[in-house]
Chain A
Amino acid sequence: MMKPELKGKKKPNEPVGLRGLLSWFTSEGFLNDVLKKRLGISDNLINKFKNNLQPKKKIHLGAYISWILTFLFIIECLTGMFLMMYYHPTIAEAFEDVRYITNIVPYGWLIRGIHFWGSHLMILFVFFHLLQTYLKGAYKPPREITWISGMVLLLLSLGFGLTGYLLPWNQISFWASTVVTEVPMAFPYIGHYLKLIARGGENVSQVTLTRFFSMHVMALPALTTFFIVLHLIPIRKYLIPRDLITHFIAILLCFALLISLATLSPAPIHEKADPYHTPNKVKAEWYFLAAQEVLELAQHLDFLGGWAPKLMGVLIQIFVILILFLIPFLDKNPARNIKKRPFAVTFISIGYCAFIILTLVAKFK
């Protein structure tokens, strides 16, 4: 019963055997045979994909950023995996391994340079993405989960920056990490325990390096993947963007920028970390400069006395992040047009201006 049916359905000229396998590599064979028959992808989806190839006259600039961010995350994962092949997270080897990768392993400088600059670009684009989403009002119901998971992703990418910074185990990274892990001391009573958790001891040491490493390569990538999925579930219908070709061009441009930066301004090596010698200028990465400056400015609140000024510095930042998290619930204005949301726009402009000014002040102080 079944056999004749199958035979009857089969087209007389359809290739079989190895020729059938070869036919998968023609465009028609790939479409009909692989996608439709083998993978069972519906015509609907394929047509949609084809339609999305169609160029659009106008594309919102922000639409590219989300795809560039995805691309950067994949690039970071890949280069990170390659770096890990030659890297040992021990205080004796870490620095030498980074030197080995950069100087001796063929194209190690390129892989490391892309990983280094990729992280910077990623955080930069995350900030852009936040601003663009906010201005578009894309956080408004029913997109609350996308917004909140997006905020988590922002914090996670900062976490990547923080933990990855220590791994080369050079003077700058060692002391920047020392300063950052000192921040929880602002909390009275529990501060010391928080510091111990961050450092795994009283000082930044081998334990700290191992913790930061495991965070950087295990916990954070897993969490980030989870939250990216969560981020995209509510908007899965629009996942394949319109005008795919232009998006692809944008990604290529981003990649060109990445390899140019990696070649023309290679990732620095500095000197090996020396726990008994603090260099004169200990500055965090640019994305933490604003936070550092807030903490320093909080020192001027010394009329509060005791541990209050330090705590204020930390609490202000936590407060700002909390506000950002709760934006979809605080902003009850249903309008999405920028012109109809004067208060919301003022709020974010002040926020971003403050961030940029604080960063610049800390940078050129």
Chain B
Amino acid sequence: MTRYPKIRILLLTILILSFVLLPGKANSSEKSKSKRKKRSRKGKITCIICHEQLGKEKALWVKQWQESIHGKNNVTCPACHGGDPSSFNKPKIKGTGYLGKPSRTEIPEFCARCHSDTSWMRQYNKRTDQLSQYKTSKHGMNLYQKNDTKVAVCTDCHGRHDIPEVSNPASLANHKNIAETCSKCHGDADYMLPYNILTNQLTAYYNSYHGMIMKNKVDGKNPSLVPSCPDCHSPHGAKPPEVAEIANVCGNCHMQTEKYFHDGVHKVALDEVNKPRCIDCHNYHEIRYPTTDLFVGESMFHCGFCHLTNSKEYLRGLKIKEAIENAEREIDKVEKMVLTLQETPGLDVIDLKENLQRARRNVLEAVPRTHSLVEEDVTKYTNKALALTNEVEQKVEDMKEEFVTRKKGLFAALMVIFFLICSLLYKRWLLELKEEEI
């Protein structure tokens, strides 16, 4: 009897709870669904309602726009195309400011209505100089002065309705894609025929060290840090860099190298006779990883192309080359020694490897100093590297010697043990003899 009230209370609670909780849940989920529907319908504007029903390409525009940066930031159709989206009646009639589809010549100004408006773009923290830059570019000059519509306009790189952010990997203007995008026109020999400029830039670029890194072919290098077309040619004000610009363009990233170059005699020559520029030794577009080979030979991009092979300058180059190569050779030699040593278990080469890395860093520091063309600048660092390498070599020898000493010690210890065993055996033999006597 005493237990029943408890159970009843329990059942009652469950009953009440089930009444309160279950319908409540159903209610809330239904409500939120309808709310969401309403909100999304509320957000629709008449352009979209019709265009979605038109299907095919016209419906695609809507979809593309929705996924674009404009769609995400709620920059709706009339923001670009004008018109009055609030009424179904005549959204496109005159007086509503309807613009429709801009022609290629109109496109830059079309985009610039917002993108050059500093007060408007401020909220997005975007730059507004694209149009003015574009006007100074070869593209812009051809478009506005020669009325040439074959040149690139905004939409060619950024897309029309489907404009993703440039940081989006899907964007044609994204760092990883832009080289391919430029090459769509610049790699097309027929298309570029009237302009009489090179069309092999992309292949050349991909053969270059920059391009190799971009294609992830160089271990440990970050593709997002290497330059692509716009990094040297400017994104919107694209045109070939002029003679005076080149060192600055390269120096934007290779700051140290630029500094050393400015310290050297080549800078004087550059100021006087416009030679040698970076590209005279390193080529352009197809910029290979520079090796010490540049110091020998008379072909293009080598010292001998300008200097006589028996001249003082050429010989100085050879000396610099020798200093660097000698350091590298020594490091390679000692590294091999360390690697063979490493195969012996129990040998600790961690410190040796670290020191070799330091030596390599010193060589790496010496290399840009070749641009000053002062021998001492380079040898200062290669000598440091050599000193470190010799230290490692000495340690390797010490280790080997230490091993020999250990083996000698072992041999001596084994001899002592052997002797001890012999004498114990002798003792045993004596005891055996005694036993036999007994």
The 3 A-B pairs at the shortest CB distance, nearest first, are namely: A266-B346, A268-B345, A263-B410
CA A265 to CA B421, docked complex, whole Å:
24
Interface hits, A257-293 → B, CB 8 Å: 259-260, 263-269, 271
Q: Is B432 an interface residue (CB 8 A)?
A: yes
Q: A260-B414, A266-B346 are in contact. Are A245 and B427 (CB under 8 A)?
A: yes
Q: Is A139 an interface residue (CB 8 A)?
A: no
Chain A residues lying within 8 Å of B431, measured Cβ to Cβ, are 53-55, 245
B409-438 near A? 1/0 per residue, CB < 8 Å: 110011001101100110110011001000
| Prevailing SS type, chain B contact patch | helix
Asked if A99 contacts B407 (CB within 8 A), the reply is no
Asked if A55 contacts B407 (CB within 8 A), the reply is no
Chain B residues lying within 8 Å of A266, measured Cβ to Cβ, are 344-347
Asked if B432 contacts A248 (CB within 8 A), the reply is no
Q: Count of chain B residues with Cβ under 8 Å from any Cβ of A?
A: 23
27 A-B pairs (CB sep. < 8 Å): A55-B431, A55-B432, A99-B350, A102-B346, A102-B348, A109-B406, A113-B346, A245-B427, A245-B431, A248-B424, A252-B417, A252-B421, A253-B421, A256-B414, A256-B417, A256-B418, A259-B410, A260-B414, A263-B406, A263-B409, A265-B345, A265-B346, A267-B345, A267-B346, A268-B345, A269-B347, A271-B350
CA A249 to CA B423, docked complex, whole Å:
10
Chain A residues lying within 8 Å of B413, measured Cβ to Cβ, are 256, 259
Chain B residues lying within 8 Å of A264, measured Cβ to Cβ, are 407, 410
Chain A residues lying within 8 Å of B435, measured Cβ to Cβ, are 54-55
Q: Is A246 an interface residue (CB 8 A)?
A: yes
Report which B residues bind A (CB closer than 8 A): 344-348, 350, 406-407, 409-410, 413-414, 417-418, 420-421, 424-425, 427-428, 431-432, 435
Report which A residues bind B (CB closer than 8 A): 53-55, 99, 102-103, 109, 113, 245-246, 248-249, 252-253, 255-256, 259-260, 263-269, 271
CA A248 to CA B427, docked complex, whole Å:
12
**Could you tell me the distance in whole angstroms from the C-beta of A123 to the nearest C-beta in chain B?**
19
Q: Which of A248, A249, A259, A269 contacts B348 (CB 8 A)?
A: A269
Chain A residues lying within 8 Å of B425, measured Cβ to Cβ, are 249
**Could you tell me the distance in whole angstroms from the C-beta of B372 to the nearest C-beta in chain A?**
40
Q: A252-B417, A264-B407 are in contact. Are A55 and B348 (CB under 8 A)?
A: no
Chain B residues lying within 8 Å of A252, measured Cβ to Cβ, are 417, 420-421, 424
Chain B residues lying within 8 Å of A259, measured Cβ to Cβ, are 410, 413-414
CA A252 to CA B421, docked complex, whole Å:
8
Chain B residues lying within 8 Å of A267, measured Cβ to Cβ, are 345-346
CA A160 to CA B345, docked complex, whole Å:
22
Q: Which of B407, B417, B420 contacts A263 (CB 8 A)?
A: B407
CA A321 to CA B435, docked complex, whole Å:
46
Name which residue of chain B comes closest to A50, CB basis: B431
**Could you tell me the distance in whole angstroms from the C-beta of B418 to the nearest C-beta in chain A?**
8
**Could you tell me the distance in whole angstroms from the C-beta of B404 to the nearest C-beta in chain A?**
11
